[in-house]
């Protein structure tokens, strides 16, 4: 939905935010400066083995300063190697419990009890080492600093020790200001630290501001803290042509600035503790695997969620929504899910239906109709609950006492329904109330998922507010409902509302309670909003997931705007309010790739832009790209002209082409969804994930990979009819026309100019892959019932080569996603060409489910062969000769040539061999082979 910060092109608030993004370039210079006068550091007084096998130490301040408040005199250091590749360093006040991310929200081991180290043993040796299988912790005593090193190559991953010439100082630990730094080598390329829109690409840029604090600011604003907070980064280094990666997480939910200078990185947090987790790597995939094994594996998505979604803020009634669905059908454009923004609600109140425009009987009849086609329906809900004594949800909430408080009363704010209170999802009673409200609503409207928006949390007002005495709020005649209509006064009387250090909130060091909940407001058990602010969306997501999980025992689908560390274990995400511009088209790629690193692989951007109106050409290019986002949804603002994909004939053509391939690739995408759930592997990922040794792809933000082998190279420039794409070494086959190939022999890759007419996007598969594909369809339910084709990609003309791939299929609405006989099947495919013999085979795990569902392989398409089929194709199934209709099996071949414009590429020829007419059960092990003859 349109946020309060991006209401319309004419909104004064929006114009102010656009101005902020322009002044950032002058502000960040001073933001990046650092002073060693903030604190004088600590010395290590004692260190010993902890009861649970780690180390526990006592730090004592060396001297105090008054900057940002008094230093905490004694700190407890706790170091624990939690796995061979994950090491934790936890530093907190040794005398008093401090705020940390709640252990029930993000389960993890509790550090030892406090006060075990004060007044401890004698001065320790100058250095200490704690050696694990793969990681080493070492520290210096005076001033205290620590380093993390990888054993395998000796690489120092993090080093907090400060020298007098460094632009950063030693450890600082005050009540409302924590600072720590690490030096970085020149070879370090950093990724992460979001959520923000990065105009320079996915790689972090020195001296750009990186502020982490959840804020309702639209994604059109560059280098500003946006909807989510992810204080984690991946560091990729290249030595001697070999890339190695590691990850660093600071688990702290308080607002913070991260100052990245290129050769160092400094954290400046306004509360909490230092709770570092270091992930040893060494491949990018290893880092994400290790990270998600700690913060939570990505949630399994139902199969239909990988289909195409259509949404718009401004569908006036249910008949209109029905017309959109029918228009997609008439245009022969695939569509799986239709969405409603807040149009379905009665006066924007959660869990209600507009009795005039969305009457209950018509909505239910519409759902019955689309459900019969295998389609789904999702609606939006916001956290703000309208203060309205005629509203059942509000009354039940008041009875259960579930709202965040200010001075003992529910904190009053304003969002779309007008005056609202915000539920406190840190309160167990609130979670149960929320679960109950969702269950009540589902009985009224059997929706298939929920969209939780505005949960940073967004507030149209600032400060302490009261109902106005002289005007209506909301004013039913107002055309600007995002303007505050309550009577409000700023809150500046506490150190929580006006902390001593001002983070770069909103790009202007705005008060941290600006357009959100007052930071001196109180949650359950006395928790301050100051500490828990960035956890709001995360806590709401967990409660929503619990509710959906208990409805019908189905796999939940949740889309959330605000995210935190671990959100991917419960929900998908979209990049928020973007613009219909060529720049925003390009920016979307970097943000999506970042969220894969954050452990949120199901992510997308509003296709064609949220506002204002895109051009026809831009919408063509955006659906071509958006068809390959993990989460693919067209979404627009009510003030923009219609932009459904069928509005323009040319866009409809592009949609049929691009989505047609997406729907044929659904088995591959769903398998990537499974892999993400099991290992954390992103669905969409940067090229360096597969090619970590190739430095020239380290900031590649205009192309990306789906999985390991499928590369998407979109047009991102107005008027372009070709695209210059970088191809890593190997043979790459065009998935729209497999007789077209690019062959690169250079170790560092090569740029190739590809044709890209208006209705076409370039998508290639690399040698070594076996892709499971199906025929496609207009819904995923239809597509998944069609037979499989295996596309086997060998290097062009290779006489000795191998390829492999896999497919996972299951009863996709079960909450669990695992290989289990009768419920799911996983098949590994292998292929090789050797001694003029081609062999394609499979290994099956738990084949019962796919056998019962009648899933079969109808075709094997082998690319890059040097010769044609000579003699009979031999097929064995479960070790026995193929029992199917052999007369239906037929072989065909065509030529495949490398692109002539590839420098030095020549015109190599190879054969595409199709073995069709098969009927091999997917759930049975098979071997298919033939001899190669000479091609004339």
636-657 pLDDT, tens digit per residue, is 999 889 999 999 999 999 999 9
Rounded to whole angstroms, the Cα distance separating 808 from 56 reads 45
User: What's the pLDDT at 669?
Assistant: 98
Rounded to whole angstroms, the Cα distance separating 341 from 636 reads 10
Q: Considering just the CA atoms, what is the radius of gyration of the chain in Å?
A: 28
Closest to 515 in 3D by CA, of 854, 207, 217, 209: 217
Rounded to whole angstroms, the Cα distance separating 306 from 775 reads 16
Rounded to whole angstroms, the Cα distance separating 402 from 5 reads 27
Sequence-distant (≥ 6) Cβ neighbours of residue 609 within 8 angstroms: 578, 579, 580, 581, 584, 585, 618, 622, 636
List the Cα angle 807/813/819 in 5-degree steps: 40
Rounded alpha-carbon distances, angstroms, from residue 774 to 147, 492, 660: 51, 61, 11
User: What's the pLDDT at 470?
Assistant: 85
Rounded to whole angstroms, the Cα distance separating 623 from 913 reads 31
Rounded alpha-carbon distances, angstroms, from residue 448 to 299, 338, 716, 815: 16, 10, 34, 14
Segments of the chain with pLDDT less than 70 = 1-36, 115-127, 894-908, 934-936
Condensed to tens digits (0 to 9), the pLDDT of residues 805-833 reads 999 999 999 999 999 999 999 999 999 99
User: What's the pLDDT at 906?
Assistant: 55
| DSSP 3-state of 913 | strand
The answer to whether 433 and 400 are in contact (CB under 8 A) is yes
Rounded to whole angstroms, the Cα distance separating 310 from 326 reads 12
Instruction: For tokens 């913070």, name the residue.
Output: 256
Question: Does an H or E element contain 385, and which?
Answer: strand 385-386
Q: At what angle do helices 284-295 and 666-679 cross, to 10 degrees?
A: 60
611: Cα separation from own chain's centroid: 22
Active site (catalytic) residues: 453, 456, 577
Rounded to whole angstroms, the Cα distance separating 421 from 841 reads 60
User: What's the pLDDT at 477?
Assistant: 82
């Amino acid at each position: 939905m349109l946020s309060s910060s991006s209401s319309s092109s004419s909104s004064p608030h929006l114009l102010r935010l656009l101005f902020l993004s322009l002044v950032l370039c002058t502000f960040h210079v001073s933001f990046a400066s650092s002073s060693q006068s903030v604190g004088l550091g600590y010395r290590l007084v004692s260190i010993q083995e902890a009861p649970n096998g780690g180390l526990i130490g006592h730090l004592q301040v060396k001297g105090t300063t008054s900057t940002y408040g008094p230093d905490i005199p004694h700190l407890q250091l706790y170091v624990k190697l939690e796995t061979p590749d994950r090491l934790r360093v936890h530093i907190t006040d040794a005398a008093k419990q401090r705020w940390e991310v709640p252990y029930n929200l993000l389960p993890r081991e509790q550090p030892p009890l406090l006060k075990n180290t004060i007044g401890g043993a004698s001065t320790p040796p100058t250095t200490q080492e704690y050696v694990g299988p793969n990681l080493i912790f070492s520290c210096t005593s005076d001033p205290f600093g620590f380093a993390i090193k990888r054993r395998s190559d000796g690489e120092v991953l993090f080093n907090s020790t400060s020298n007098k010439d460094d632009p950063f100082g030693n450890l600082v630990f005050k009540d409302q200001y924590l600072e720590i730094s690490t030096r970085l080598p020149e070879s370090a390329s950093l990724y992460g630290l979001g959520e923000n829109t990065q105009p320079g690409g996915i790689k972090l840029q020195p001296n750009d501001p990186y502020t982490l604090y959840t804020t309702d600011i639209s994604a059109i604003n560059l280098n500003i803290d946006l909807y989510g907070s992810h204080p984690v980064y991946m560091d990729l280094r290249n030595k001697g042509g070999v890339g190695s990666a590691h990850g660093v997480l600071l688990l702290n939910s308080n607002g913070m600035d991260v100052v990245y200078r290129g050769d160092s990185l400094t954290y400046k947090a306004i509360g909490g503790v230092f709770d570092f987790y270091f992930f040893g790597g060494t491949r990018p995939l290893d880092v994400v695997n290790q990270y998600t094994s700690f913060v939570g594996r990505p949630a399994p998505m139902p199969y239909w969620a990988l289909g195409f979604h259509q949404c718009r803020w401004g569908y006036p009634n249910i008949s209109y929504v029905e017309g959109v669905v029918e228009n997609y059908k008439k245009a022969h454009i695939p569509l799986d899910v239709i969405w409603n923004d807040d149009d379905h609600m009665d006066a924007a109140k959660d869990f209600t239906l507009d009795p005039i425009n969305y009457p209950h009987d018509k909505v239910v009849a519409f759902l019955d109709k689309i459900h019969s086609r295998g389609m789904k329906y999702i609606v939006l809900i916001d956290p703000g609950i309208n203060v309205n004594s005629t509203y059942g949800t509000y009354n039940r909430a008041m009875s259960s006492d579930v709202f965040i408080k200010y001075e003992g009363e529910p904190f009053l704010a304003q969002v779309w329904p007008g005056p609202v209170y915000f539920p406190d999802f840190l309160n167990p009673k609130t979670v149960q109330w929320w679960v109950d409200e969702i269950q009540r609503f589902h009985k009224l409207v059997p929706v298939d998922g929920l969209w939780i928006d505005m949960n940073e949390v967004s507030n149209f007002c600032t400060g302490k507010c009261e109902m106005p005495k002289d005007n209506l709020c909301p004013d039913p005649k107002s055309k600007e409902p995002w303007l505050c209509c309550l009577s409000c006064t700023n809150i500046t009387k506490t150190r929580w509302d006006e902390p001593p250090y001002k983070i770069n909130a909103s790009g202007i060091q705005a008060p941290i309670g600006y357009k959100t909940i007052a930071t001196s407001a109180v949650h359950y058990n006395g928790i301050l909003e100051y500490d828990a602010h960035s956890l709001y969306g995360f806590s709401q997501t967990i409660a929503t997931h619990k509710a959906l999980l208990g409805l019908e025992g189905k796999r939940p689908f949740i889309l959330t705007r605000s995210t935190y560390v671990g959100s991917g274990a419960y929900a998908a995400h979209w990049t928020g309010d973007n613009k219909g511009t060529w720049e925003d088209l390009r920016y979307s790629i970097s943000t999506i790739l970042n969220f894969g690193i954050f452990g949120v692989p199901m992510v997308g951007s509003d296709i064609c832009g949220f506002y204002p109106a895109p051009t026809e050409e831009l919408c063509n290019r955006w659906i071509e790209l958006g068809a390959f986002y993990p989460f693919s949804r067209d979404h627009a603002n009510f003030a923009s002209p219609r932009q459904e994909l069928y509005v323009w004939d040319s866009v409809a053509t592009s949609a049929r082409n691009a989505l047609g391939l997406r729907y044929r690739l659904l088995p591959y995408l769903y398998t990537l969804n499974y892999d993400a759930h099991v290992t954390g592997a992103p669905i969409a990922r940067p090229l360096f994930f597969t090619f970590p040794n190739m430095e020239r792809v380290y900031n590649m933000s205009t192309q990306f990979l789906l999985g390991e082998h499928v590369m998407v190279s979109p047009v991102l420039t107005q008027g372009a009819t070709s695209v210059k794409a970088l191809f890593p070494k190997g043979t790459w086959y065009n998935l729209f026309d497999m007789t077209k190939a690019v062959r690169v022999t250079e170790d560092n890759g090569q740029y190739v100019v590809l044709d890209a007419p208006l209705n076409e996007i370039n998508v290639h598969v690399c040698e070594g892959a076996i892709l499971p594909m199906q025929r496609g369809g207009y819904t995923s339910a239809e597509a998944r019932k069609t037979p499989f084709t295996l596309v086997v990609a060998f290097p062009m003309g290779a006489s000795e080569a191998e390829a492999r791939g896999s497919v996972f299929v299951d009863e996709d609405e079960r909450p669990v996603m695992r290989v289990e006989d009768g419920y799911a099947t996983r098949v590994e495919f292998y292929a090789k060409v050797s001694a003029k013999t081609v062999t394609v085979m499979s290994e099956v795990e738990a084949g019962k489910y796919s056998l019962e569902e009648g899933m079969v392989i109808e075709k094997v398409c082998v690319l890059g062969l040097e010769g044609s089929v000579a003699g009979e194709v031999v097929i064995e199934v479960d070790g026995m000769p193929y029992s199917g209709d052999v007369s239906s099996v037929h072989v065909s071949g065509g030529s495949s040539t490398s692109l002539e414009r590839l420098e030095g590429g020549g015109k190599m020829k190879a054969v595409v061999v199709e073995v069709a007419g098969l009927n091999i059960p997917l759930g049975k092990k098979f071997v298919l082979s033939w001899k190669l003859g000479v091609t004339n």
